[in-house]
Structure 1
């Protein structure tokens, strides 16, 4: 098996990990939640973070490491830059929920905590933006946005 195929496989698995974690977070969120459930959400958020780190590392390796298409194919493609921008926006949106989960996971496990409405909207916006990225990837695969 070539290194490129292995890297692309890990790239896809990390995408599935991110989507699964975000969907899980969305399904587990409630207006009022116990600290033990916040602890679960914090663990899921940790899996999400691990998926993001792996995706970023492998994506950068594929982009800059000379595997498959040349670096210029991606570097000069505005659709690729749109994908990266969406990825950064998703990362920024994830900061507040992550901080909330970490800050509120400790204490009496039965104590209920009010979840700010902003967290619901941030997770939903992350999911929405995340589902746009594959469309952009498909466009790139067809050569759309390529200057060469």
Structure 2
């Protein structure tokens, strides 16, 4: 069971990164009905993968790995969790923008995306991807036995 939970945790993490990259590619192009729908769909997958990472991560910490005491006193783990929280908080703005497009898309109308807002979302997505680097750094340090 430990291996299955770890595998699903990693698949969810790769899915999360893939969705961020897909959103960045789409938001850099002129918005169309198709790309707006895709952004909403991809962002839903992003959210589901983030939730799956949380659930599986909690299960791993409590039941399948080294135990809560090890993780909650490990600075590398805290780096990883802090970066994950920051990435999650950054993701709120793009998600809210994409959700607001729902009514327009149901009416087959192109949502309004001012250029400044598109640039802001691009910046946020890049910051989220940068945050992923810190998550990975924490994971590598943990795997190598460092607690910082």
| TM value normalised by structure 2 | 0.88
SS of 2:145's partner is coil
Answer yes or no: is the 8 Å Cα contact 2:90–2:124 preserved in 1.
yes
Superposed counterparts of 1:63-102, under 5 Å: 63-65=61-63, 67-102=64-99
SS of 1:114's partner is coil
- Structure 2 vs 1, CA of residues 33 and 113 (structure 1 numbering), >3 Å: closer, same or farther? farther
Paired residue total: 143
Answer yes or no: is the 8 Å Cα contact 2:17–2:129 preserved in 1.
yes
Aligned partner of 2:113 in structure 1 is: 114
Answer yes or no: is the 8 Å Cα contact 1:34–1:109 preserved in 2.
no
- Structure 2 vs 1, CA of residues 59 and 112 (structure 1 numbering), >3 Å: closer, same or farther? closer
Aligned partner of 2:139 in structure 1 is: 137
Specify which of 13, 26, 29 is matched with residue 28 of structure 1.
Answer: 26
Would you identify which runs of 4 or more consecutive aligned residues in structure 1 move more than 4 Å?
none
SS of 2:10's partner is helix
Q: CA RMSD in A?
A: 1.7
SS of 2:112's partner is strand
Larger strand proportion of the pair: 1
Larger helix proportion of the pair: 2
Answer yes or no: is the 8 Å Cα contact 1:17–1:48 preserved in 2.
yes
Aligned partner of 1:126 in structure 2 is: 128
| Structure 2: tracts of 5 or more residues without a match | none
Answer yes or no: is the 8 Å Cα contact 1:62–1:68 preserved in 2.
yes
| TM value normalised by structure 1 | 0.88
Question: Take 1:54 and 1:69, find their aligned partners in 2: how far apart are those partners?
Answer: 20
